[in-house]
Amino acid sequence: MFVDLEGIRRWFDGYVGGFDLGDPMIEMKRVHSIDVWRVGGRLVEAMSWPRPEAEVGSAACLLHDVGRFTQYRDFGTYYDRASVDHGERGYDVLSTEFPSALADAEAMEAVLQAVRHHNKKDLPSPDSLPPAVLPFCRLVRDADKLDIFALTRRRMDAGTLDAMLPGHAARAEVTPALLDEIEACGSGSYRNAHTLLDFLLIQLTWIEDLNFAPSRRMLYESGILERIRGSFVHCGERTLKVVDGLLASER
């Protein structure tokens, strides 16, 4: 298993440089990609992954959102349901544009599947993916979620969370259909998310979806869970019960 990690970083910079980096929405995704790469690096170090696997995992983290750039160029939005599945778009971009010399076949398959599945509500069953690629899929999903939590905290501190989520109304309420869904199955889908609190509630469902112990530790130590919980203090008893139930899963 081999990747040329420095070469991949150069390819990524060149690829993204072909888009309008003066557009803050494009720049946001460039920065997010690099931040997820760094989070992934912390995770593989904490788990003592061997160097070849660690470098493949880092490459997958850096490239996980490569489909976002043409998505925004072509559709003017990052909402998959109004455009394309950005995981599938990223798979297509890498399949057609990524230089084969930068990764061997085994590593490339791991990166492709991690990119394709990072944004799905759930990973396919273990029988549906080669066992060798599952750790990389899980790593990218964890690193992506952790960076979104960190970005959420920065936006909350700056009072700009609404700018991060322009499609979500800034109402201090949770959509009842989302509460119904989370109470029924423990997770929520974006089709039922319409407010900023809906987005924060869905984030709390991610706690149970984290795959690795270091991911949970990093999330707990960040302090973002307490900050999100504070956003719901004026909601009704039913919402708070759901929130506290989700938070209990990280202990």
Place of tokens 């440089």: 17
Pick the closest to residue 144 from 24, 43, 61, 245 (CA basis): 61
Percent of residues, the chain, with pLDDT higher than 90: 73
Among 9-18, 93-102, 167-176, 223-232, the range scoring the smallest mean pLDDT is 167-176
Quick one: DSSP state of residue 146? H
Which CATH superfamily hosts domain 5-146? Hypothetical protein af1432 (1.10.3210.10)
Any idea where the domains of the chain sit in the sequence?
5-146, 167-248
pLDDT at 177 over 70: yes
Write out pLDDT tens, residues 111-142: 999 999 999 988 888 788 889 999 999 999 99
CA distance 71 to 85: 9
Average pLDDT over every residue of 217-237: 91
Q: What is the pLDDT of residue 7?
A: 98
User: What torsion do the CA atoms of 124, 126, 131, 132 make, to the nearest 10 degrees?
Assistant: 30
Q: What would the two tokens of residue 166 be?
A: 């322009």
Among 35-44, 146-155, 241-250, the range scoring the smallest mean pLDDT is 241-250
CA distance 192 to 199: 10
pTM above 0.85, yes or no: yes
Q: What is the pLDDT of residue 171?
A: 59
Task: Please count the residues of the chain.
Answer: 251
Sign for the CA dihedral angle at 5, 1, 90, 79 comes to negative
Q: What is the pLDDT of residue 165?
A: 62
CA distance 140 to 175: 29
